[in-house]
Amino acid sequence: MDEIKRLAHSSVLLKAEDKNIYIDPYRPDSLPEEIENLYEEPEKADLLLITHPHHDHCDPDTFENMMSEKTTVVAPENCDEKIEHDFINISPGKTSSFDGIEIEATHAYNFKRKRESGEPFHPKGEGVGYLITIGEKTIYHAGDTENIPEMKEIEGVGIAFLPIDGTYTMDIDEAIEAAKKIDPYMVIPFHERDADPEKFKSELESKSDI
Structure confidence by residue, pLDDT tens digits, 157-183: 999 999 999 999 999 999 999 999 999
pLDDT at 35: 79
Q: What is the mean pLDDT of the chain?
A: 95
pLDDT at 31: 74
User: Which residues lie below 8 Å from residue 107, measured CB to CB, with a gap of 6+?
Assistant: 92, 124, 125, 128, 129, 145, 148, 150
Q: Percent of the chain beyond pLDDT 90?
A: 90
CB count within 10 Å of CB 206 equals: 8
Output phi, psi for 69, to 5 deg: -70, -15
State the pLDDT confidence band at 9, using cuts at 50, 70 and 90.
Answer: very high
pLDDT at 39: 84
Q: To which H or E segment does residue 185 belong?
A: none
DSSP 83-150: --S--EE--TT-EEEETTEEEEEEE---SS-B-TTS-BSS-TTT-EEEEEEETTEEEEE--S--S-GG
Distance CA 120, CA 103 (A): 26
pLDDT at 30: 72
pLDDT tens sequence across 64-110 = 999 999 999 999 999 999 999 999 999 999 999 999 999 999 999 99
3-class state of residue 27 by DSSP: coil
Selected residue with higher pLDDT from 194 and 47: 47
Q: Do 165 and 190 form a contact (C-beta atoms < 8 A)?
A: no
Give, in words, the CATH class of 3-207: alpha beta
